[in-house]
Structure 1
Amino acid sequence: MEKVYFIGAGPGDPELITVKGQKIIKEADIIIYAGSLVAREIIECHKPEAKIYNSAKMNLEEVMETTINNVKKGKKVARVHTGDPSIFGAHREQMNILEENNIEYEVIPGVSSFLASAAVLKKEFTLPDVSQTVICTRMEGRTPVPENESLDKLASHKCSMAIFLSVHMIENVVEKLLKHYEKNTPIAVVQKATWKDQKIVEGTLENIAKLVEEANITKTAQILVGNFLGNKYSKSKLYDKYFTHEFRKGIKKEEL
């Protein structure tokens, strides 16, 4: 029996899928991809006889029936998710069903949109003396979040934050963040990071809601907030010539 492969397709740019992920797509007999979020170009490398299914039009039972029936016929199945499937990918329930049916599977990680957003902004989440912690979360909406993970409680840490699936509620997001962050805290909204029609809006908590409205960004966007977006930080000890670590002895200042 063949395996099922859960593949992180990356944030959107077809060149940002992993080499391993692309190899499996090229070999797959069956490809089930999240068509509402995964660019079609990412799977265009499939072999001519491969069958393609868009999971945006399918429910869980239909996805799993297609997957299980085909893998039992000896078909290689590629289940292609956006970004990295381990973050808001809803693939745990699929893996559990495969386990119940004694079907082997493998997960191939991908580049998440929060990482792609930092890349297009040319920023680093973990700046010395600014933040060494990144919180990935989302606002409660039609799908709730655990009470102790509400956005205002998480914001109390004042660390770097990547907020998924929430740009349509940007005013509520700002309201909760302002309970702990200063109103001049930098914030950026990146819609469809690395796609050809990518949009970037940068501002502060004081004006970002208006800027997002003017840019007509209502979905498929990351909200990044925190002082890591600013320009004040300390240099890393990793490359400090005075700092000693396992691979390099630091210079003593008196030796200069």
Structure 2
Amino acid sequence: MNMNKVHFVGAGPGDKELITLKGYKLLSNADVVIYAGSLVNPALLDYCKEGCEIHDSAYMNLQEIIEVMEKGIKEGKSVVRLQTGDFSIYGSIREQVEDLAKLNIDYDCTPGVSSFLGASSALGVEYTVPEISQSVVITRMEGRTPVPLKESIESFAAHQTSMVIFLSVQEIEKVVEKLIDGGYDKTTPIAVVYKATWPDEKVVKGTLKDIATKVKEADIRKTALIMVGEFLGKEYNNSKLYDKDFVHEYRG
């Protein structure tokens, strides 16, 4: 096996400073970079060294991506695959690493800050609020990529917990319908964050009753996350973490 590896790097949610230090070092030392042009902020390419060979995967199919990786590795170059957010969530790296394995090419992964974390920071909210929500569901609505029946939005909505819905804002009316059918009340707070942490970030807040209209008025049709649940509401309970009687072992 070739000792040189393909480095998968999470680019972060958009803000060019939200890449990890390790990711930045790999990117700045790379000889070849394949970046997800339709999703990754191109400002991150400012970190690339002069003469770095840059490919935009928005215009490439899987075979072409693998060919560029293989060529770079065979030439002893440092190859970085720069993926949006963190590649562990809708990152599509599985098919890439399976093909690399067939070619006996090794890889490593440097995690990034997911857009769902960028979105919560944009709003200054916490997904887990004591006695209100202690779980986060990350999901998407079925589209060209189907969703298992037991993972439908309606089935998750029955839990009434914090929910983040990726890749679905283009059908916001249908999302709202499914959330209500699943059990969320029409007064449940909801937020749509377009391009969280990017310079042109846009936030739309409302309830399940009015969010679809507000999103249409804001002309948001893609690159946005839907956040729903009472964690967005006014009610909260103090965590026991900083209670004066609390044992300090887990205090952050």
Equivalent-residue separation in structure 2 for 1:246 and 1:226 (angstroms): 30
| 1:234 is the counterpart of 2:242 | no
Amino acid at match of 1:129: E
Match of 2:115 in 1: 113
Match of 2:194 in 1: 191
Match of 1:31 in 2: 33
Deviates more, 1:167-176 or 1:35-44: 35-44
Cα shift at 1:148: 0.8
Match of 2:228 in 1: 225
**SS of alignment partner, residue 161 of structure 1:** strand
Report if the CA contact (8 A) 2:164-2:227 is conserved: yes
Q: Any idea what the Cα deviations from partners look like across 1:54-88, whole Å, max 9, x if unmatched? A: 00000000000111121121111000000000100
Aligned pair count reads 248
Deviates more, 1:220-229 or 1:232-241: 232-241
| 1:165 is the counterpart of 2:143 | no
Amino acid at match of 2:226: I
TM value normalised by structure 2? 0.96
Larger radius of gyration: 1
Match of 2:125 in 1: 123
Match of 2:54 in 1: 52
Closer, same or farther in 2 for the Cα pair 1:76/1:225, shift >3 Å?
A: same
**SS of alignment partner, residue 249 of structure 2:** coil
| One of 197, 200, 203 as aligned partner of 2:203 | 200
Match of 2:85 in 1: 83
**SS of alignment partner, residue 178 of structure 1:** helix
Amino acid at match of 2:214: L
- Structure 2: tracts of 5 or more residues without a match: none
Closer, same or farther in 2 for the Cα pair 1:181/1:15, shift >3 Å?
A: same
Match of 1:21 in 2: 23
Amino acid at match of 2:228: V
- Structure 1: tracts of 5 or more residues without a match: 249-256
Equivalent-residue separation in structure 1 for 2:58 and 2:121 (angstroms): 28
Equivalent-residue separation in structure 1 for 2:227 and 2:220 (angstroms): 14
Match of 1:68 in 2: 70
Deviates more, 1:93-102 or 1:185-194: 93-102
| 1:153 is the counterpart of 2:155 | yes
Amino acid at match of 1:232: E
Cα shift at 1:97: 1.4
Q: Any idea what the Cα deviations from partners look like across 1:16-42, whole Å, max 9, x if unmatched? A: 000110111111010000000101111
Equivalent-residue separation in structure 2 for 1:99 and 1:153 (angstroms): 36
**SS of alignment partner, residue 239 of structure 1:** coil
Amino acid at match of 2:231: F
Amino acid at match of 1:88: Y
Q: Any idea what the Cα deviations from partners look like across 1:108-146, whole Å, max 9, x if unmatched? A: 000011110000001000000011100100001121111
Amino acid at match of 1:241: K
Amino acid at match of 2:14: G
Equivalent-residue separation in structure 1 for 2:209 and 2:243 (angstroms): 36
Match of 1:10 in 2: 12
RMSD, matched Cα: 1.1
